[in-house]
Amino acid sequence: MQYTLTTPVTREQLAPLRAGDTVLLSGTVYTARDAAHKRMMELLDAGEPLPFPVEGSAIYYVGPTPERPGQIIGSAGPTTSGRMDAYSPRLLDLGQAIMIGKGARNQAVKDAVVRNGAVYLAALGGAGALMAASVKELEVICWEDLGCEAVRRLEVQDFPLTVILDAHGGDLYQSGPAAYLGSL
């Protein structure tokens, strides 16, 4: 099943999604990797606001290559999401609705996804040129000193994603291989 969504999203909009469905996502997506997540935790610890509105937001784990003159963004595929496992539950509990990356998540993240009616979506790992084609606008919004890890606001159109973890406990990394092996 394919869904079309525009950020910010609500819990109700995400409820029909199931592991293995595809999503064409449009709207604002914020980028953050390990270093930016660590700084966001420090802000929260200090009682400061986050650099973007977290309610209903989508965070993409990406560190793009520099854009050539005339390009909006360089190559922009996902990084391994597991490195954000330590930080994601706290952001999900604050209202983050969509995580975008690639690779397995731990049980704490899976629990937080279910608890908050969120989703974890996969972008195509290693397909940086393809993912970049959906990005229509880019602005570095903070922590420029982090280079490729700075927080960027992306405006995306029909960003092609696959549901890995859904709000009902589904996990494509378990069910996908099992379905294939079951077909043999």
Partner 1 sequence: MRTITASAITDTVARLCVQANLKLPEDVSAALARSRREEPWPLAKETLDLLWDNMELAGQRQLPICQDTGMACVFVELGQDVHIEGDFEQAIHEGVRLGYGEGYLRKSIVGDPLRRVNTEDNTPAAITLRLVPGDGFHITVAPKGFGSENMSRLAMLKPADGVEGVKRFVVETVRLAGPNPCPPIILGIGIGGSFDKVAGLAKHALLRPIDQPNPDPFYAALEQDLLKEINALGIGPQGFGGRTTCLGLSIETAPTHVAGLPVAVNVSCHVTRRASAQL
Which residues of the chain form contacts with partner 1 (CB under 8 A)? 20, 62-68, 71, 74-77, 79-80, 82, 102-104, 122, 124-130, 132-133, 147-148, 160, 162, 172-173, 175-181, 183
> How far apart are alpha carbons 167 and 85 in whole angstroms?
17
Q: In whole angstroms, how close is the CB of 82 to partner 1 at the nearest point?
A: 7
Nearer to partner 1, 47 or 183 (CB): 183
Min separation Cβ 32 and partner 1, Å: 15
Residue 67 or 155: the one with the smaller Cβ distance to partner 1 is: 67
**What contacts 40, CB < 8 A, 6 or more positions away?**
32, 50, 51, 87, 91
Of residues 117 and 128, the one with the C-beta less far from partner 1: 128
Taking the complex as a whole, the smallest distance from the CB of residue 145 to partner 1 amounts, in Å, to 9
Among residues 144, 127, 84, 142, the alpha carbon closest in space to that of 109 is found at 84
Given a contact cutoff of 8 angstroms between Cβ atoms, the answer to whether 41 and 90 are in contact is: yes
In angstroms and rounded to an integer, the radius of gyration of the C-alpha atoms of the chain is 16
CA distance 36 to 52: 12
Show Cβ contacts of residue 71 under 8 Å, excluding neighbours closer than 6 positions.
Answer: none
Beta carbon nearer to partner 1, 61 or 117: 61
Closest separation between CB of residue 64 and partner 1, Å? 5
How many helices and strands (H and E) does the chain possess? Answer: 6, 7
Task: Please identify, using beta-carbon distances, which residue of 49 and 69 lies nearer to partner 1.
Answer: 69
Asked if residue 86 lies in contact with residue 65, where contact means CB atoms within 8 angstroms, the answer is no
Residue 152 CB, nearest approach to partner 1 (Å): 13
